[in-house]
Structure 1
Amino acid sequence: MADFPWPSGAATGIGSLPGTDIAEAQRVVFGELPDLPHLAELPARGPGADMIGRSAGFLVELPVQLYAGRWQVAPRPGKDMRRTADLLERDLDQLTEQGEGFAGTLKIQSAGPWTLAASIDQQIGGRLLRDAGAVRDLTDSLAEGLRRHVDEVRKRLPRASVLLQLDEPSLPAVLAGRVPTESGFGSYRAVDGPDAATALRTVVEAVGVPVVAHCCAPGVPLQVFRDARAVAVAIDLALVKDLDPLGEAIEAGIGLFAGAVPSTPGASPSAASSSAPSSGGASLAGASSSAAPAPGKKAADRVATLWKRLGFPAARLPHQVVITPACGLAGASEPYARAALTACREAARRLAEV
């Protein structure tokens, strides 16, 4: 059985959480996900905390700015980059405080090069995606920036092992040629799978830590992620329609971050959908344990059933599979978000005990 860079029977979050209090959010992450915590992301704080702005903050010598509500390449760093850097510094400070002495595996996240290329505008107009040279420059810049980010996290938590998650929700559209142009009347050219894998592999090889490739959109490009040498794929199980590619990836030794708990109430028929409250009145840290789905059983059963259908030994499951929400939790209420993390932890515990 292959060794994986996370403990057996682990659960984790995808990254984003609701609210604006990073200290509270990071406390909840370490409390609910002790075996594989992650650096919390709070998009509700506004520009620079959103996935694209936050990830663009890692770029080296490629500044961005907000223009007409969109991120675009900037001639020089400005106030938007300073705000982004300040938010990340606060996040890292709380990670350092809440994770003092932590000696396990810690996950950090960033958008990948294709999602950034499909989301950031050039100064002259059009997305970076339209220019293959611009995509290469973006990829190299991101690779160096994430290498530095990993080094910074290691300095702050010297006993921890770092795991990087690359978020690529736009990659299926990039591969299919479905990213719309500004006019809305056309689309950018489709990118070949091998070219997409090459860019991702540039980042994977630069950062010096294992990389999880995450996509919670339909049509997850499992072969691209395998060719990029990701150690695991993170997917929403509700979107899995064809088991063969997933089974082939698992058989090849890829880990699975199984999105088995819905990101919002009623989103899919699994663990958190029925008994977690959806009102947002309580704080994330203050949500009572009674808000949690009891006790992750639906999510555990869902993953165990999938694993059995794939034909793999049950003893292999807790080593190769990590339980997560279906996607980020930024759109959930704070009590529900904590309930979902609790359900993930309980599901992982149940599967480890089988």
Structure 2
Amino acid sequence: MSENSEFGLGPATGLGSMPGGDAREAVRTVTGTFEDFPFLPELPARGPGADMIGRTAGMLVEMYARVEPSGWRLGDRPGRDTRRARSWLGEDLDALEEFTQGHEGALKVQTTGPWTLAAALELRNGEAVLSDPGACRDLTASLAEGLRLHLAEVRRRVPGARLVLQLDEPSLTAVLRGQVRTASGYRTHRAVDRQIVEAGLRDVLGAHSGGPVVVHSCAPDVPFALLRRTGAAGISFDLSLLTERDDEAIGEAVEGGTRLFAGVVPTTDGPLSDPAGSVMGVRTLWRRLGLRPELLARSVTLTPACGLAGASPAYARQALAHCVRAARSLADNPE
């Protein structure tokens, strides 16, 4: 628990994407809601380059991507898509700097992890980078260097913040199981060896040396044990997708000091339950694992189940505020 307490990871935060295209409004909402643990919003509604893959592709060093009808494809030189991705990230950082003056707590930034990026980016032949082990290594190294530069820029703009890096890896389980489809759609790429996956993740985690990294997946069957071995300080997941098969790995994670980022608030418009109802699943999990109630608030950060890009702006604001209220309920009544 010492690493989590050292960096002051807060009781609630968001996961990244928000609706709309106004960076200042999104950052104002986030910083106003999560005073202890704000994050840099992503606004994919602006178009290619603001999406999760495009934004991260714009951070790569000496690797460039452009938009094709099939998705993002690597190219020889930076083009307008790369410039647009970098321009939008610059706007986002301008807004973040404006609304975090004097902030000295945790601040989270998100990027696509190496394996989801390798599954999404295409080589020149149209196949995923995932199909080429050498290209995967190059991509991992480029991403790690790009993240070092990005984190340094965020530190320059918000010098008092303690940065938390979130790697989004929704395709990780599919990569491990050989479920990522080829360009034709008739076959799947071969499963990547778990040791190679771990090594790639460790290389990217190393870009944030000395700071905590959270790995997020909103897919079923999150590989908790593998992520712990990489050195991740936190694991983020959709609570509704857990099964009792995950219990042993989650229990070991908590006892080993890994923080759980539990997604408890729905990501699309609809009625929200009362805060106590939103954390009922967390309490049930805790009792099932036989963990001490006093560990609960110290071990869990509450979030939406995934990004909020598909929600209305009004619901997104409500969902984020609901996470804060639910975390307060969890701290006040851990049993």
Give the alignment's TM-score, normalised by structure 2. 0.95
Q: Distance in 2 between matches of 1:45 and 1:24?
A: 14
Deviation at 1:17, TM superposition (A): 0.6
Q: Does 1:308 align with 2:305?
A: no
Describe the SS at the equivalent of 2:50: coil
Q: Distance in 2 between matches of 1:31 and 1:262?
A: 20
Task: Please point out which of 213, 230, 238 is paired with 2:215.
Answer: 213
8 Å Cα contact 1:144/1:207 also seen in 2: no
Task: Please point out which of 246, 249, 260 is paired with 1:245.
Answer: 249
Q: Distance in 2 between matches of 1:341 and 1:180?
A: 34
Q: Counterpart in 2 of 1:233?
A: 235
Describe the SS at the equivalent of 1:274: coil
Deviations 1:172-227 (A, max 9, x none): 11001010001111010001222111100001112222100100101111122111
Say which is worse superposed, 217-226 or 230-239, in terms of deviation.
217-226
Q: Counterpart in 1 of 2:86?
A: 85
Deviations 1:149-170 (A, max 9, x none): 1111001000000000000001
Deviation at 1:340, TM superposition (A): 0.8
8 Å Cα contact 1:9/1:352 also seen in 2: no
Deviation at 1:6, TM superposition (A): 4.7
8 Å Cα contact 1:8/1:319 also seen in 2: no
8 Å Cα contact 1:9/1:318 also seen in 2: no
8 Å Cα contact 2:214/2:232 also seen in 1: yes
Q: Counterpart in 2 of 1:182?
A: 183
Q: Counterpart in 2 of 1:14?
A: 15
Aligned amino acid, residue 251 of structure 1? E
Aligned amino acid, residue 248 of structure 1? E
Describe the SS at the equivalent of 1:37: coil
**Residues 64, 54 of structure 1: alpha-carbon distance in 2 compared, 3 angstrom cutoff:** same
Q: Distance in 2 between matches of 1:127 and 1:333?
A: 33
Q: Counterpart in 1 of 2:51?
A: 50
Describe the SS at the equivalent of 1:121: coil
**Residues 53, 321 of structure 1: alpha-carbon distance in 2 compared, 3 angstrom cutoff:** same
Describe the SS at the equivalent of 1:258: strand
How is 1:159-174 mapped onto 2 (pairs within 5 angstroms)? Answer: 159-174=160-175
Deviation at 1:312, TM superposition (A): 1.3
Deviation at 1:300, TM superposition (A): 2.5
Q: Distance in 1 between matches of 2:81 and 2:315?
A: 31
Aligned amino acid, residue 116 of structure 1? L
State the Cα RMSD in Å: 1.3
Q: Distance in 1 between matches of 2:103 and 2:9?
A: 17
Describe the SS at the equivalent of 1:303: helix
User: Where does structure 2 lack aligned partners over 5 or more consecutive residues?
Assistant: none
8 Å Cα contact 1:8/1:318 also seen in 2: no
How is 1:183-332 mapped onto 2 (pairs within 5 angstroms)? Answer: 183-208=184-209, 209-241=211-243, 242=245, 243-265=247-269, 273-275=270-272, 294=274, 296-332=275-311
Aligned amino acid, residue 125 of structure 2? I
Deviation at 1:253, TM superposition (A): 1.5
8 Å Cα contact 2:21/2:46 also seen in 1: yes
Q: Distance in 2 between matches of 1:247 and 1:169?
A: 22
Aligned amino acid, residue 301 of structure 1? M
Deviation at 1:147, TM superposition (A): 0.8
Deviation at 1:24, TM superposition (A): 0.5
Q: How many equivalent pairs are there?
A: 329
Q: Counterpart in 2 of 1:336?
A: 315
Aligned amino acid, residue 339 of structure 1? Q
8 Å Cα contact 1:48/1:87 also seen in 2: yes
**Residues 202, 141 of structure 1: alpha-carbon distance in 2 compared, 3 angstrom cutoff:** same
Q: Counterpart in 1 of 2:107?
A: 106
Give the alignment's TM-score, normalised by structure 1. 0.90
Describe the SS at the equivalent of 2:125: coil
Q: Distance in 1 between matches of 2:173 and 2:279?
A: 28
Describe the SS at the equivalent of 2:261: strand
Aligned amino acid, residue 280 of structure 2? D
Identity of counterpart residues, as a percentage? Answer: 50
Q: Distance in 2 between matches of 1:9 and 1:120?
A: 33
Q: Distance in 1 between matches of 2:10 and 2:162?
A: 17
**Residues 154, 9 of structure 1: alpha-carbon distance in 2 compared, 3 angstrom cutoff:** closer
8 Å Cα contact 2:10/2:37 also seen in 1: no
Describe the SS at the equivalent of 1:118: helix
Q: Counterpart in 1 of 2:42?
A: 41
Q: Distance in 2 between matches of 1:185 and 1:8?
A: 44
Q: Distance in 2 between matches of 1:211 and 1:118?
A: 21
Question: If each structure's helix is expressed as a fraction of its own residues, which one has the higher value?
Answer: 2
